[in-house]
Structure 1
Amino acid sequence: MTIDISRIADPTFFADNRLPAHSDHLWYADAAEVEAGESSFQVCLDGVWKFFYAKNPSQAPQGFWDPEHDVADWDDIRVPAHIQLQGYDLPQYANVQYPWDGREQVEPGQVPTAYNPVASYVRDIDLDQAPADGERLVLRLEGAESAVVVWVNGAYVGYSLDSFTPSEFDLTAHLRPGSNRLALQVYKWSSGSWLEDQDFYRFSGLFRSVYLRRLPATHLEDLRVGVEVAPDLTSATVRVRPRLSGEGSVRARLEGVGELEPIGDGELGVTVAGPRLWSAEDPYLYDLSLEVLDASGRRTELVPQKVGLRRFGIEDGVLRVNGERIVFRGVNRHEFGLDGRVMTRERTEADLVALKRANINAVRTSHYPNNSFFYELCDAYGLYVIDETNLETHGVWDHIVRTDHDVSRALPGDRPQWREAVLDRARSMYERDKNHPCVVMWSCGNESFGGSTIAAMAELFRSLDSRPVHYEGIVEDPRHPESSDVVSRMYTPAATVEQMLRTERDKPFILCEFAHAMGNSFGAVDRYMDLAERDPLFQGGFIWDFADQAIALRAPDGTPYWGYGGDCGEAPHDGDFCGNGIFYADHTPSPKIQEVRHLFRPLATRVGAQELEVTNRFLFTSSAELDCIVTLAREGRELASARLDTDVAPGTSATYPVPLTVPATPGEYTLTVSFRLRHDEAWAPAGHEVAGDQGVVLVEAPRSAPAAFAAPAPEPRPELVEGLHNVGVRGQRFEVLFSRVTGALVSYRFGRTSEGGGELLCAPVRPCFWHAPTANERGYGSPFEEGAWSLATRYPRVVMGPEYPQVRQDEESVTVTFDYELAGLPGARASMSYRVTGEGTIEVTQVLDRPEDAPDLPEFGSILEVPVELDRLTWYGEGPEECYVDRRGGARLDVYRARVADQLPGYLTPQESGSRTGVRWAEVTDVRGRGLRLECDPGRPMELSVLPWTPFEVEEARHAFELPSPVRTVLRPALMRRGVGGDQSWGARTHPEYCLPAGRLEFRYSVRGVL
């Protein structure tokens, strides 16, 4: 039997001979197998299979399921894997648009026929003997995208849709001793693909593991574990409802508690006194063991089950865990890594460890159920999970919202032919994941508008379980508000959320997606977390998203790089919109993690010179459980450190005296408070910093400073050399040249030849008003709106006048000033004034005057290009990661050292990045320590970018490998760079308070050579 293409395109045909979904427990023969974690009842069929690729169903092979069909010439392919990452078809990244849109004219439910890749798989299985009486052999496919047909020994077995929940088929009747042919055919596009329009790469094939499982005649088919925690939390009742196939019984024991006793209606139960409750802070799991006995009392299998005792729900109008109001400090996470959505347990575990270390306490499975081991690991490590049904019809939803808002066209909406397929997806997810304590909410999917079918899904969840139901899509179609137990929104500004909560207070409010972290982003997110502290009804949100989705590719010269939409030759696609991660594509942390960790910290400290106030945001953990270390430093040098004993109860604040004394010696000091793990945890070793804050204390010199504080006598005034085309200024160890032709500072030589001195400038110094647009800036059209500032930076024109340039002398210095007109900005003027002192310091004063109707200014500073040998950067400022005016909370003031080559972060598309705020001074030097030092005026820190490229070179590159080989080091000191923004990446602008102010701007800094 074959499956006709008309069945593939039938929304009502979503399963045939597929076994009912059930809990994800595993069974073992004895205790030794349980201890080893290896069940003799299961054989993994992962590995090499025979494979045939066809571009469409008409070209797919027929009859290959027959054992006599010769497949020796077929290709070999790895399972699990996406065929698109094994040399077949093309990976395709698409966000909203359906991947076939514009290629073939198809209506919802229909499938493309000219291009619809079909993957045919064959694997021969050897069986020593036929199943014993009553035993069954079941094929389990953990994930097949998007439709799969199964044959054994030439006989048709079954069919299934839903790429992200398991499909099981009973093979018993078709198997025989010896060799057996298992044949599968996987269609890339099916009717189910209309329900799987998630923001991700489009792949196909067997991408999760394949198993052959033996079911004894008496077998635990399903296990339902329920937990009821007493209102006063002093006891908990564990209820177990086993479902057996075959005659028999079940014995169960909860380790450390005792045997479970029959309590009626087929249930077993036990009461736990003084329970240790599960939470993200203490993810304690009890061991439940079940012994399955046949009718004669013989044991047929052992089933271990982890049980978390916890209460979660809406109590007193807010979401609570074990009675305490929760704030989700969460992230959305696609299952995506180096092999696409083929994920290993080890990779998943490493991801969750990284999230715990970033103070993230929750994950939304965007937008489909994950591998089962993900939930096991979240149980063990302590992460709250919103488990999301595999449903997204964003392409249809988007069209409706952008056109006539006709709800009759919604998918699934109110269309009866889609109802059962959608409910099947919800049921499959629920049945598999129901026993995991980490799952605290069920989600009806994502961005699929509203309608009666989604409302029915919500009711299905409620009929099966007590956990709250989540769905955001009713924002656009509010006819069925019962589809969600919470108010859920996406990318709503914090101020708007606060305004909404003034009148809408009937449900808890969460942001299922917020802080769209595309490229250099994640600015002003503190607004949301502050609101969560002020209003109990706002209960946090989930960052979009965990890691960049990108594919490892190689440039023509062999250079590896991360590819995004269009890089594999696919169309349609959505470019680099897959680069939204707080982690890079290889799952290493991006600079944004510095801010995430800070904003999500469970202990916040306000640090003063004499006292500090600690606020405990934990729900169940005292600050006394952590070591508190206070460190005093001055300009990168640690002066003292002390341990401070604290005992701040959850949800409270307390004040403590600073255990260190700030010296009376004038200067700038930092007091850093660090809360660290006292003991090893599963996710981090002892000493790991969980939370930290810093205070800066300025000790000023007395007004009448004693001699010890007197400034040294200045060097003699430098010599002025008035040439025909140049103005020179020189002293004993330096020479400066200003060009009348270029209208700029063009040369700065510092140090005698015998000292290794030489030229420190590679190009004229010029004002800078532009940077390579960030993803957020591109999203709202910054290049179009503000491109005049790019022209102004590239093409300023010096103003010629009777005094050109302006040259002034005083007793200590020579000052040379250039005035500029700015291309593309009529009425705008800038000036660069250089005051040169006798020791070779150049004090720069930069001024900008612009008309009121000038476009917003991306930044205001200078560009200095220095020799490429100056490739070592030291700065006293905020760091260690890049930081911007709206993303600097996690940065700390210190002295840092780095290589210039490492200063451009690895965002998918090169863009403005790598800058630092609060810089007091910085040096760029060569390997011998010779180079240039920049300083700001006291009390007026600058921002600083040091890269191997100009902003224009960065802007022109679509990928990092397209950047030219470094030939210079580019310094961009600035009064200010506009904040990076972070509400979303397709129109939201930087908050006004983080934009450059209107009116006249002045920026001062100094430059001096170092040897």
Structure 2
Amino acid sequence: MMDLTNPGPGTGSLPPRAHVEDGLPTLSLNGDWRFHYSDSLAQAPEGIESEGFNDVVWDCLPVPSNWNFHGHGAPVYTNVQFPFPLDPPFVPDANPVGDYRLAFEVGAEFLAGALLRFDGIDNAGTVWLNGALLGTTRGSKLPAEFDVSGLLRLGTNVLVVRVAQFSAASYLEDQDAWWLPGIFRDVTLLAHPAGAVRDVFVHAGYTAAGTGTLRVELDPPMPGAKVEIPALGFKAPLNGAALQGTALDVGVVKPWSAESPSLYELRISTPAQTLRLNVGFRTITVQDAQIKLNGVPLLFRGVNRHEHNPDLGRTVPAEQVLRELKLMKQHNINAIRTAHYAPHPFLLQAADELGFYIIDECDYETHGFEDGQWAGNPSAEPQYRAALLDRMQRLVERDKNHPCVIMWSLGNESGKGENLAAMAEWTKARDPERLVHYEGDWACPYVDVYSRMYLKPADVELIGRQEESPLPDAIQDTHRRNLPFILCEYVHSMGNGPGGLQEYQDLFDKYPRLQGGFVWEWIEHGIRQHTPDGEAYFAYGGDFGEKVHDGNFVIDGMISADLDPRPGLLDYKKVVEPLALSVSHDWRTLTVRNKYDFLDTSHLAFIWRVESASGRITHGTLLVPVTAAGEQTGVVLPLEVHAELAAQRVLTISAVLATDQPWAPAGHEIAWTQQGSPQAPRPALLAHGAPDIARQGHVLSFGPATFSLMTGELSSFKGIALNGPRLTLWRSPTDNDNGKDHAQPGSPRPATTWEDAGLPLLEGRLQSMAHDAGELHVRVRYGVPVARHHVDVDYLWRTDGTAMELSANLTPSTGWGRTWPRVGFDFQLPGEFSQASWTGFGPGQKYPDTGMAAQLGWFSASLEELEVPYVRPQENGARAGVSQLQLATERGGGQSLTFQGTDFSFTLRPWSQEVLSAARHTPDLVADGISYLTLDAAVHGIGTASCGPGVLPPYQLAPAPLSFKVLLS
């Protein structure tokens, strides 16, 4: 019987050690295993550990995998709350159990000694080999190794593992992710004969003189061992002083950094084997309240990364990891926090090579205890200390040789307690050359970095100025004020957003103490599902019948579950550009400010182009002097650039990779800037006298248009069915609209406020409609059921017989709430109008506090391309700063309509706001043969209130009088 209520660590496993290529034989035990699923431990079969147990009728299950993805049980998503009663160390009787059996063949090379390694079992495992109990595992995302020497035999061996989904250890893994059980990482047999090296710890430092230092800890010490770095011509025996831990001088080296990840192969030779590992020479310190690498302050352009695959769960192929990291590099990201557990070892290997700063986080979070005022929290409970120290030790020992790891994190959102202090104390004693991070104890008594989450920019600025509220203890307060500051989570990237990225980055650039942040989060955790007719969509919490779940809060990433960048990632790339480029208004000079920490600009090429409505006019390359990190250069632009300065032209200058890099080809854009304007003056109507006016039934003909005498709305234009305009103040709530502003505790959700104000139910009542001197005057009062507040809109139509000019003047009454989501005018067109071309910002969406990636220019997109397919449908796809919009029935021909104005936004969709607001998943969005166009005169920002501050004041839309003018042709 499994003991699932023991709060201690696993049993029977060996002391943790580093993952190192040691030159000895290995055998992967990944593949198809026999598998049996039970709803509870009481229902699980008995005697499975016996070699003679009959498993022929069992299913087959691939290892590694999460069994939920193979037809057994169901995924469960929670953020803070546990999916079972909070009653540590007990777990429910209804606790799914998976039994695994594998028969495998072993050769003679393993009989002199061998280890069995599990890289990840979620949550509690019991392991037998050839009928003998090896031990138990706890700590789902950390390795466990067992000595199987003497138990292995030549030929067939039988390995058996029983896994329970929940145990006392589950109280340590409440990590804002799907609860996914199983053997989800690799299983490996490793030869380990007598005389083999058990472990190695390589300390590779960098000095101010530009030389490298090397200290090697070998366990056990091996007389006769040698260390070698072939690329440096360095060889030394590991004896005498070296065996006692004295640092050796290896001469001049290229230092490692995320910008220039120089690695050297290091070899350790013993009489029995040769170990190989990559080392990077770097030194991490805290000086002047700054984290410094090799004496240089760092700026983190980071993300939090969970491990997720939409079809495999937490079993993420190496190919995907590599794709993710390359995608990060392509978007100017230089740092990763491994939220909230140790990643698969391959990620750190790739991060060493590609260049990332890693906050390596312990497999620990107890957020669900917060609602009970942290009563019984494992961080403060002595019965959990051994387990927590065990987890920290396994993290550090596994990953200690990776230069990318610059900080150890004790865990996430686990309150306070002496166990955390003990974890920090052990970590600093074992590895004093790296920093210790933990956000949950704001007094920072045992960490090296002051870290917070989701602060509003004003509070971040106070910390940058070292003017934050003091701690009661003066000594602790002084200690904290001398610590560097990071936002380990910020700008929550859920659905449409995040808004306000630039405000944070401006503070990071301004105050040296503020060393950047880590966006929450990198990847959405959608699970791919299909409707009965085969349409794919991504599922979230509650879609699998869970009684306890946190809905779509698991869909909060800068890339989709299948790695498609969201608009927020494109904005982040722009905001964190490592170069600041700016062009003078006369197109004569370019200023280049190098914001890299280490690199000069020699790896970049600079290109320019000038465009107009007819396309690219001319382009070329620029000669920019090599600019050192932190320096600024001014460049006089060639006369051929200045000569192109004219109205309705845009100059774009880009810094691109000059040569291929491991993560992107030559020509990949790193940074850009623009100058100029694509906007043409709004054309005026031609004076052709009074238009033809006729009345027939409930229809008024006015020049080229017809109007409904019942509503005052346009019903056709030049024979094209065109209904509108109709005032709208509503938008389908974004995830941020549905959030609570962390900067204003107790404030209502914006979407709730807008719904309570009746904005989705806004109705118009025609008050008057009259024509005079060739003008059509329409007054409509818009109100909502029950309430007395209203908005009066005076529409003025003029025509020259060909085009129509609309002027709308909006006057709100008192009694509205603090904000509106938009002031827009809805039109309906035949669904054939599915192509849009516009002048303004593009090609992607832009809202008042988002869309930094949008460029000025001339763009075209299909109706489908205009949409952003967020997993939970919501407001999306607005194009802003528009001066001209043309809608056509097909590319390059057919009927068209053109709207010309000044600085308006538009959305175009094949479904209504009502359908968009009601949809829970993308298949709920069904086109109805109508194209729904909204022209926005003003738009409320997006913010990050899904988990963080709401819309900042400059981007809030308050009810107020407003005018809007557009020319229709």
Scaled to the shorter chain, the TM-score interval is over 0.9
Q: Unaligned stretches of 5+ in structure 1?
A: 30-40, 294-299, 401-406, 702-708, 751-757
Residue deviations 1:929-974, cap 9 Å, x none? 234434343xx31111111112111001001101123411111111
1:755 maps to which residue? none
Residue deviations 1:976-1007, cap 9 Å, x none? 2111112x414732112112244211111122
1:695 maps to which residue? 675
Change (3 A) 1:665 1:189: closer
CA contact (8 A) 1:770 1:789 kept: no
1:890 maps to a residue whose letter is: A
Give the deviation of 1:636 after TM superposition.
Answer: 5.9
2:894 maps to which residue? 930
In 1: Cα distance, 2:552 partner to 2:651 partner: 41
2:872 maps to a residue whose letter is: T
**Superposition pairs for residues 817-828 of structure 1, below 5 Å?**
817-824=778-785, 826-828=788-790
**Superposition pairs for residues 104-503 of structure 1, below 5 Å?**
107-113=87-93, 115-129=94-108, 131-132=110-111, 135-230=112-207, 232-244=208-220, 249-257=224-232, 258-261=234-237, 262=239, 263-267=241-245, 270-293=248-271, 300-338=272-310, 339-400=312-373, 409-465=375-431, 466-475=433-442, 478=443, 481-502=444-465, 503=467
In 1: Cα distance, 2:438 partner to 2:350 partner: 25
Give the deviation of 1:317 after TM superposition.
Answer: 2.2
1:125 maps to a residue whose letter is: F
1:805 maps to which residue? 769
Change (3 A) 1:64 1:588: same
| 2:867 is aligned with 1:879 | no
2:500 maps to which residue? 524
Give the deviation of 1:414 after TM superposition.
Answer: 2.3
Give the deviation of 1:244 after TM superposition.
Answer: 3.4
Give the deviation of 1:789 after TM superposition.
Answer: 6.1
Change (3 A) 1:843 1:793: farther
**Superposition pairs for residues 888-899 of structure 1, below 5 Å?**
888-899=851-862
In 2: Cα distance, 1:70 partner to 1:154 partner: 14
Of 982, 991, 994, the match for 2:955 = 994
1:77 maps to a residue whose letter is: L
Of 10, 14, 17, the match for 1:19 = 14
In 2: Cα distance, 1:323 partner to 1:224 partner: 23
2:864 maps to which residue? 901
Give the deviation of 1:274 after TM superposition.
Answer: 2.5
Q: Percent identity, aligned pairs only?
A: 32
In 2: Cα distance, 1:421 partner to 1:666 partner: 69
Change (3 A) 1:665 1:510: closer
CA contact (8 A) 2:706 2:716 kept: yes
| 2:60 is aligned with 1:76 | yes
**Superposition pairs for residues 699-714 of structure 1, below 5 Å?**
714=687
| 2:9 is aligned with 1:8 | no
1:866 maps to a residue whose letter is: L
Give the deviation of 1:655 after TM superposition.
Answer: 2.0
Q: SS state of the match for residue 554, structure 2?
A: coil
Of 600, 612, 624, the match for 1:634 = 612
Residue deviations 1:102-144, cap 9 Å, x none? xxxx51211211x111110000122344855xx2121111100
1:979 maps to a residue whose letter is: G
Give the deviation of 1:316 after TM superposition.
Answer: 2.5
1:42 maps to which residue? 26
CA contact (8 A) 2:486 2:516 kept: yes
CA contact (8 A) 2:406 2:434 kept: yes
Deviates more, 1:251-260 or 1:573-582: 251-260
2:792 maps to which residue? 830
1:785 maps to which residue? 753
In 1: Cα distance, 2:670 partner to 2:62 partner: 41
Give the deviation of 1:98 after TM superposition.
Answer: 0.2
**Superposition pairs for residues 638-787 of structure 1, below 5 Å?**
638-646=616-624, 647-659=626-638, 660-662=640-642, 667-697=647-677, 714-715=687-688, 717-730=690-703, 735-748=704-717, 750=718, 758-761=719-722, 763-780=723-740, 781-787=749-755
TM-score calculated relative to the size of structure 2: 0.93
Give the deviation of 1:863 after TM superposition.
Answer: 0.7
Give the deviation of 1:852 after TM superposition.
Answer: 4.0
In 1: Cα distance, 2:788 partner to 2:726 partner: 19
In 1: Cα distance, 2:242 partner to 2:922 partner: 65
Give the deviation of 1:73 after TM superposition.
Answer: 0.7
Q: SS state of the match for residue 872, structure 2?
A: coil
| 2:585 is aligned with 1:622 | no
CA contact (8 A) 2:567 2:851 kept: no
1:171 maps to a residue whose letter is: V
In 2: Cα distance, 1:715 partner to 1:788 partner: 48
2:838 maps to a residue whose letter is: W
Q: SS state of the match for residue 954, structure 2?
A: helix
In 2: Cα distance, 1:760 partner to 1:828 partner: 29
In 1: Cα distance, 2:645 partner to 2:326 partner: 43
Q: SS state of the match for residue 533, structure 2?
A: coil
Change (3 A) 1:250 1:606: same
1:874 maps to a residue whose letter is: S
| 2:828 is aligned with 1:865 | yes
Q: SS state of the match for residue 68, structure 1?
A: coil
Give the deviation of 1:668 after TM superposition.
Answer: 2.3
In 2: Cα distance, 1:941 partner to 1:156 partner: 72
CA contact (8 A) 2:789 2:814 kept: no
Change (3 A) 1:342 1:710: closer
In 2: Cα distance, 1:791 partner to 1:449 partner: 41
CA contact (8 A) 1:769 1:790 kept: no
Q: SS state of the match for residue 256, structure 1?
A: helix
Q: SS state of the match for residue 172, structure 1?
A: coil
CA contact (8 A) 2:606 2:623 kept: yes
In 1: Cα distance, 2:683 partner to 2:959 partner: 38
**Superposition pairs for residues 914-929 of structure 1, below 5 Å?**
914-927=877-890, 929=893
Give the deviation of 1:380 after TM superposition.
Answer: 0.3
CA contact (8 A) 2:611 2:649 kept: yes
2:674 maps to a residue whose letter is: Q
1:95 maps to which residue? 79
1:630 maps to a residue whose letter is: W
In 2: Cα distance, 1:710 partner to 1:214 partner: 80
2:935 maps to which residue? 973
Q: SS state of the match for residue 220, structure 2?
A: strand
CA contact (8 A) 1:123 1:183 kept: yes
TM-score calculated relative to the size of structure 1: 0.90
2:452 maps to a residue whose letter is: R
2:910 maps to a residue whose letter is: P
Q: Unaligned stretches of 5+ in structure 2?
A: 469-480, 741-748
Give the deviation of 1:849 after TM superposition.
Answer: 1.5
In 2: Cα distance, 1:348 partner to 1:464 partner: 29
CA contact (8 A) 1:792 1:822 kept: no
1:597 maps to a residue whose letter is: K
Residue deviations 1:503-562, cap 9 Å, x none? 243211110000001100111111111001110001110000001101001113221110
CA contact (8 A) 2:229 2:266 kept: yes
1:821 maps to a residue whose letter is: Y
Change (3 A) 1:787 1:131: closer
